Amino acid sequence: MATRATTATVSTTATEPVSQVLIRAALTSLALVMAVLALEHFRDGRAVDAAVPVPVYMVAQIKVPTAAYLEAARALRGANHRDGMAALARGEAMMHAGITGQQLTPVLTEGLSGAPASARGWTLLSEALLPTQKRKAAQMLAQALILAPRDFWLAEMRAKLAVQLWPNMDSNTQALATEQILLLWQDEQLHPQLFALAQTREGAALMSKVFVPDDIRAINRFIAHQQWSAP
């Protein structure tokens, strides 16, 4: 009986250090994982901060020098590759800097893979594809309009895209685009954005199709008044 008790005691004592080592190893591994994640988050934050205030200005449609867009795009390149919004901001900065085609589209596509619900991202991709792939650009615009049918900050950009892509859009997308264009007159703050739409023959023709005659007359009076009162 004494021998059996001694054996049990020795066995228990021998297993305790092993369990403690395993616990310490697990805690160390967890700490390392958390440290790596924290470092990635820190680097991502630094990259986004370095691009400020350009992303804010882009949303507010405030223009900055081309060099500022390029510097913002360079800074955002260092953001976490899983940060879709940062990639989309980088793509938009590249667009404003005049970068197009094969350099631009992969950046926006990568951004949308990380932020698939970004209506702004789908709108930007539509604009990027517009020169060479109108049918696909129309599909991207449709996705953007489904996600945010009446977006205040995207109203002018999407109205311009609708003018150029109207023949390539199906009836449902045209209906959504119509609602977006109507917002330009329904929201007084957006009235100035009608100038760009009315300056082209295609834009004026689409406005005549979308707005009722009374609104067309009111819009014409507004534009004439603004042009007359401009310094």
Q: Provide the residue ranges of all domains of the chain, joining segments of one domain with +.
A: 28-116, 150-231
What count of Cα atoms within 13 Å lies in the side-chain half-sphere of residue 10?
Answer: 6
Mean pLDDT of 84-102: 94
Instruction: Check: pTM over 0.85? Answer yes or no.
Output: no
CA distance to 47, 52, 147, 183, per residue, from 144 (Å):
27, 25, 5, 16
Give exposure, 81-112, as e/b (b: 16+ Cβ within 10 Å).
eebbbbbbbbbbbbbbbebeeeebbebbebbb
pLDDT > 90 in the chain, percent: 65
pLDDT tens track for 144-169: 999 999 999 999 999 999 999 999 99
